[in-house]
Amino acid sequence: MVFARIRRWLGLGEREGPAVSDEQWARVERRLPFLDFLPAEARPRLRALALEFLATKQFHGAHGLVLDDDMLLGIALQACLPILNIGLRAYAGWVGVVVYPGDFLIPRREYDEAGVLHEYDDEVLGEAWEGGPVLVSWFDGEAQPAGVNVVIHEFAHKLDMENGGVDGLPRLRAGMSRQAWADAFSEAYEAFCEEVDNGGDTEIDPYGSEHPGEFFAVVSEVFFETPSVLMRHFPKVYAQLQQFYGVDPAAGEARLRESAA
Ligand SMILES: [Zn+2]
């Protein structure tokens, strides 16, 4: 049913006119204020990518969650933000997006070093499987704190996995240096882990200290949602992400702040 609706949006199915109205885009985008950090001319491209994303992926609501058009558009816009200048090809090879109402449990089975099996339920906000679906939780309205973005987080993992594994090193864009990336990220990761270990409140989600792959996903959320925070803490990481994602949200944020002052 959802797919029929997407076909209609794209004008592939029935003869309806413009698929998503300006009003609907505006309503969905109002809940994603960080999209305004991008230059205005990028918006039509992001919308077009989002529609293409919806047409090529399959969505499922878990635990009885009914997905409506606004939710689908909101998820698609956020999923496409990281690939605005990379292209949908980076998300090839899998189709499923599963949306949960809030956080959810994933049953884990792990053997420890002594060979003892541990089974437990892991409470998560999202998960991305290599070659498989992306699982995300849906938060109604403003329930999600600023700087945290489950959708961007999981899709950053997908970009990381594009060249195999979750190691914090995605397939870099032409002209980027692996050495510069590794230097910037390892220095920042070490400093961040130390900050988290010291126990104080960190402005960036401490979950980023779990693993270099989580650090990349977490700083990607911050890069798009509260870019000046990343710029202040880890300017070299910001510069690498600016090259990788091909956008400069901190400049957009500063421009908005100036025009509001
Ligand atoms: Zn993660």
C-alpha 1 – ligand 1 centre gap (Å): 31
Query: What is the structure's pLDDT at 15?
Result: 43
> pLDDT means per 10 residues in the chain (261 residues)?
58 55 94 94 96 95 92 96 96 94 83 88 84 88 72 96 94 97 98 94 94 97 96 98 98 94 83
Going from the C-alpha of 152 to that of each of 14, 55, 196, the distances in angstroms are: 33, 19, 22
Predicted structure pTM score: 0.89
Q: How far is the CA of 175 from the centre of ligand 1 (A)?
A: 27
Check residue 141 and give its pLDDT. Answer: 62
Q: How much is the pLDDT for 16?
A: 43
In angstroms, what is the span from residue 13 Cα to ligand 1's centroid? Answer: 37
Q: What confidence score (pLDDT) does residue 103 get? A: 77
- Whole-number pLDDT of residue 80: 98
**In the chain, what is the greatest distance between 2 CA atoms, to the nearest angstrom?**
64
Separation CA 125–CA 210 (nearest Å) = 15
* Nearest residue to 62 (alpha-carbon basis) of 142, 155, 138: 138
Cα 98 to middle of ligand 1, angstroms: 16
Instruction: With H, G, I as helix, E, B as strand and everything else as coil, classify residue 109.
Output: strand
Q: Indicate left, alpha or beta for 200 from its phi (over 0: left) and psi (-120 to 50: alpha).
A: beta
- Ligand 1 centroid distance, CA of 230 (Å): 18
